[in-house]
């Protein structure tokens, strides 16, 4: 469903060609053309109608499959996959042809024709094609291998800064900056600042397969990190990662990184920097010099080529810069809250046990289910706290009566009075009893490992020491403190007899 929306966005908003959309989404040109034709027939464009759900869009663009009639056209073998299979020891072309013939029993090539076509395909793959980059089409991004040290002026601690590099395809106009890490917030922040440096946006961004860009690297169907994909949607660009172990896919980035390492980083190697901002000021000064440096084999410089070729072709920046949001999956617990960084946020109670997506920013946190926002909360950094919207709560909890305070108290009473007191404390010490359900479940489930008798003894000790929290009781059980008597229950100390063969008595020392 996500790819159906992306097809329409990249076609009508990003204005990409069918081939570019196919590369971005790892689909064939024919599939892209088919869905766009269906969308046109259904009167769909971009943006989509706000009341159109993902299920309705799927039904419009993916109708039930029709039964295909026999065709005289021959099915084309996947020679790239075949070449990969042949690398295995013991694999033969004969076996691969037989498997291909089984998949297409009515329209397959003969074995002799199959081998001829495979030989022709392999000869073409050995040719190296020089890439031609159109104006404003691609931005190549990567990190330098070496790092630059930044010294803490107070402690003298040295911290290594990463160097981000971006290069425009047509003009080779280069951007570079230092960040503390290659993590997702720094990675996306560098893109935002690079777009501002270029004062425009390309059609395509070509990253390497680092984890911040690609959640799962694959030559045919890479999975883009959700936060990175959201940033791409904000700027209307397509992300087409370079294929693993194919440096020619990002040759511009490779050359740009090499230039930054030699022209900028090596010149800064003997300077001492105490802040990241001072390091970036030095990089920007040398970067300007690099972009103004004349080419050796063609007229002009990177700056002049950018002004003449790339700058007029770039798309304008959006009205506001992208604000980073961390996106992750979460499952709704029985108390209709989801957990993010040890804080709990409510969602509509109907979504209990469903999988949702959390979009966390600096000040707000939104929850999405099947592409629609179902909750919006102010971001809280209170560890273990709860943020609850009363509108999300069920009236009298009709949907989940089995998870009521009375249910937990009855369950605890079956174990013992001290366990019941602890469970009551968990329910009554919170603003809403539902917030204590998670802790109650954890406490009562300790019987699976330790048994009811030991849990009751641990709860008794927890009451005695005034620590009736889950972590305290779990610690008592793990250290077997529940088996020791309480302080006020110790037995009377033994006294030694006054007359005994082994007792010398006070007269011995006179």
pLDDT in tens, 351-376: 888 999 999 888 889 999 988 889 99
Q: Residue 429: its pLDDT value, please? A: 79
Note the pLDDT of residue 296. Answer: 80
- Percent of the chain past pLDDT 70, that is, above it, reads 83
Residue among 225, 170, 178 at smallest CA distance from 202: 170
Domains of the chain, by residue range, sit at: 2-61, 79-122, 138-313, 326-397, 402-485
Q: What is the spatial distance between Cα 385 and Cα 388, in angstroms, rounded to a whole number?
A: 10
Percentage with pLDDT > 90 across the chain: 18
The answer to whether residues 347 and 379 touch, using CB atoms and an 8 Å cutoff, is no
Higher local confidence (pLDDT), 396 or 136:
136
Rounded CA-CA distance 510/508 in Å is 6
- The pLDDT of 129-137, averaged and rounded, is 67
Nearest to 293 by CA among 172, 135, 163, 199: 172
Instruction: Give the whole-angstrom CA distance, residue 380 versus residue 168.
Output: 40
What pLDDT digit, counting tens, does each position of 12-26 carry? 888 888 888 888 888
> What value does the mean pLDDT of the chain take?
81
**What's the pLDDT score for residue 6?**
83
Strand pairing report for 204-206 and 372-378:
unpaired
Fold (topology level) of 138-313? Nucleotidyltransferase; domain 5 (3.30.420)
Alpha carbons 104 and 206: distance in angstroms, whole number: 36
pLDDT tens, position by position, 150-172: 998 888 899 999 999 999 988 88
Residue range 433-460: mean pLDDT, rounded: 83
Q: Which of 308-322, 420-434, 456-470 has the lowest mean pLDDT?
A: 420-434
Q: Rounded to whole angstroms, how far apart are CA atoms 376 and 388?
A: 10
Q: What is the C-alpha separation between 281 and 481, in angstroms, rounded?
A: 60
For 216-234, what is each residue's pLDDT tens digit?
Answer: 544 444 567 788 888 888 8
With CA atoms as reference, report the closest residue to 235 among 196, 207, 208, 184. Answer: 196
Largest distance between two CA atoms of the chain: 123
8 Å CB contact between 38 and 60: yes
Q: Which residue has the higher pLDDT, 167 or 243?
A: 167
Q: According to the model, what pLDDT value does residue 283 have? A: 92
Cβ burial, residue 102 (10 Å; 0-12/13-18/19+):
exposed
How would residue 330 be classed by pLDDT, with cut points 50, 70 and 90?
Answer: very high
23 or 337, which is more confident? 337
**What is the per-residue pLDDT across 245-270, written as a single tens digit (0 to 9) for each?**
555 556 777 888 888 988 889 888 88
């Amino acid at each position: 469903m996500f790819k159906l929306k992306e097809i329409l966005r990249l076609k009508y908003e990003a204005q990409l060609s069918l081939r570019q959309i196919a590369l971005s989404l790892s689909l064939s040109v024919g599939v892209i053309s088919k869905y766009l034709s269906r969308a046109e027939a259904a009167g769909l464009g971009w943006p989509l109608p706000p009341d159109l759900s993902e299920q309705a869009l799927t039904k419009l663009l993916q109708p039930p499959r029709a039964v295909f009639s026999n065709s005289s056209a021959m099915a084309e073998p996947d020679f790239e996959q075949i070449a990969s299979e042949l690398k295995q020891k013991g694999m033969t072309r004969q076996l691969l042809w037989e498997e291909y013939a089984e998949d297409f029993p009515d329209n397959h090539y003969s074995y002799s024709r199959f081998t001829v076509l495979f030989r022709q395909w392999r000869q073409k793959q050995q040719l190296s094609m020089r890439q031609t980059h159109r104006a404003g089409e691609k931005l190549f991004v990567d990190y330098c291998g070496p790092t630059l040290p930044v010294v803490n002026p107070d402690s003298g601690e040295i911290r290594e800064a990463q160097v981000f590099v971006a290069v425009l395809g047509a003009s080779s106009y280069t951007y570079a900056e230092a960040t503390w890490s290659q993590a997702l917030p720094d990675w996306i922040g560098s893109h935002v600042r690079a777009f501002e440096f270029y004062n425009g946006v390309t059609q395509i961004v070509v990253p390497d397969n680092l984890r911040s860009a690609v959640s799962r690297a694959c030559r045919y169907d890479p999975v883009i990190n959700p936060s990175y994909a959201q940033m791409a949607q904000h700027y209307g660009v397509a992300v087409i990662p370079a294929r693993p172990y194919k440096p020619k896919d990002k040759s511009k980035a490779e050359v740009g990184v090499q230039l930054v390492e030699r022209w900028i980083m090596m010149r800064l190697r003997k300077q001492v920097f105490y802040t990241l901002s001072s390091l970036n000021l030095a990089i920007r000064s040398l970067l300007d010099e690099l972009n103004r440096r004349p080419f050796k084999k063609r007229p002009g410089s990177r700056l002049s080529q950018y002004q003449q070729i790339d700058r007029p072709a770039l798309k304008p920046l959006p009205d506001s810069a992208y604000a980073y949001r961390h996106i992750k999956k979460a499952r709704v617990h029985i108390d209709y809250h989801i957990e993010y960084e040890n804080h709990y946020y409510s969602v509509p109670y109907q979504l209990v046990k469903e999988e949702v997506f959390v979009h966390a920013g600096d000040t707000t946190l939104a929850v999405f289910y099947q592409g629609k926002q179902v909750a919006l909360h102010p971001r809280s950094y209170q560890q273990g706290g709860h943020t609850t919207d009363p509108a999300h709560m069920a009236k009298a909890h009709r949907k989940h009566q089995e998870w009521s305070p009375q249910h937990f108290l009855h369950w605890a009473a079956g174990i013992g009075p001290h366990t019941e007191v602890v469970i009551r404390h968990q329910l009554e010490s919170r603003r809403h009893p539902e917030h204590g359900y998670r802790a109650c479940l954890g406490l009562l489930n300790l019987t699976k490992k330790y048994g009811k008798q030991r849990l009751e003894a641990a709860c008794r000790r927890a009451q005695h020491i005034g620590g009736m929290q889950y972590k305290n009781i779990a610690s008592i059980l793990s250290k077997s403190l529940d088996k020791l008597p309480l302080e006020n229950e110790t037995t009377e100390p033994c006294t030694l007899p006054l007359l005994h063969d082994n007792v010398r008595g006070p007269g011995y020392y006179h």
